[in-house]
Amino acid sequence: MSHPPHGPLSDRTAVVTGAGGGLGRAVARALARSGARVACGDLDGQASSETAQGIVSDGGTALSWQVDVTDAAAVQGWRDEVTTRLGPASIIVNVAGAIDRRLLLDLDHDAFMRAVDVNLGGPYAVIRAFAQDLLDRGNGRIVNVASVAGLTGYPCPSYAASKAGLVNLTRSLLTDFWGTGITVNAVCPGAMDTAMFNSAQIPEMARRSPAGRIVTLDEVAATVEFLCQDAAAGVNGVALPVDGGATAVIKYFDNE
């Protein structure tokens, strides 16, 4: 599959964290299909490389890096390399995340903060490192992948709290980018079939969704890709659930 030479994101550099994982890979590929040059970053350098290689094999442009988003100095170094090799970024998509399923009494403070560091501190470090590139361009797109867990209660306190923080960071950054042409949005996926999700729960999640199923990686990636387009310039500061309607009418979990 060759990529369109004049897609809606052509001549733009997109930075994608967590690009080696299921959703990150789907997002990277969707942006590349729309013409973006994609900087694939992941803590798993091999997985990130595989994503970039797949994009190149399909006729797109991508390079990969091993990067730890919790290391602000490393993220700044990544920004410098991306700028040199692919050009200044105009799109930032924060997908990298971590989940700890332990509840309060089993989850010590250090473990709690680890999730916060990855899921909230990581996006902050990436946005801060690349922000000036977007400002210099005079427009840009920032999309943070949060979760429906950040909009509701969820039985993974460190994960839910960190994703809620990411939703609020998304809204709070509107002040920093006021009048610049840069939009900041969050996408909040529901249950998906990924390595982070307990697959045994999929049938129950599907039963609780008005769609009658869980959402796919490509559906979430398509939402991210749209928010990165010029056509989405009027969408700013939203936390958009992509969950088949589940959290609009019910909740995934209860204590029955």
Categorize the per-residue pLDDT at 250 as very low, low, confident or very high, splitting at 50, 70 and 90.
Answer: low
Residue 22 has pLDDT above 90, yes or no: yes
Degrees (nearest 5) of the Cα angle 228, 90, 56? 80
Burial 7-34 (b: 16+ CB within 10 A, else e): bbbeebbbbbbbbbbbbbbbbbbbbbbb
In this prediction, residues 125-150 reach a mean pLDDT of: 96
Instruction: Give tens-digit pLDDT for 38-56.
Output: 999 999 999 999 999 999 9
Residue 114 has pLDDT above 90, yes or no: yes
Residue 254 has pLDDT above 70, yes or no: no
What pTM did the predictor assign?
A: 0.93
Predicted pLDDT of residue 256: 44
Categorize the per-residue pLDDT at 2 as very low, low, confident or very high, splitting at 50, 70 and 90.
Answer: low
In this prediction, residues 20-37 reach a mean pLDDT of: 97
CA distance 42 to 31: 16
11 compared with 131, residue with greater pLDDT: 131
In this prediction, residues 12-20 reach a mean pLDDT of: 98
105-109, 150-154, 173-177, 207-211: segment of lowest average pLDDT: 207-211
62-76, 133-147, 151-165: segment of lowest average pLDDT: 151-165
Q: What percent of the chain shows pLDDT beyond 70?
A: 93
251 compared with 124, residue with greater pLDDT: 124
Degrees (nearest 5) of the Cα angle 39, 40, 46? 140
Catalytic residues: 159
In this prediction, residues 137-165 reach a mean pLDDT of: 93
Residue 197 has pLDDT above 90, yes or no: no
Identify the structural domains of the chain with CATH numbers, from first to last.
13-243 (3.40.50.720)
238 compared with 191, residue with greater pLDDT: 238
Instruction: Give tens-digit pLDDT for 81-98.
Output: 999 999 999 999 999 999
Tell which residue, 35, 219, 138, has the closest CA to residue 14. 35
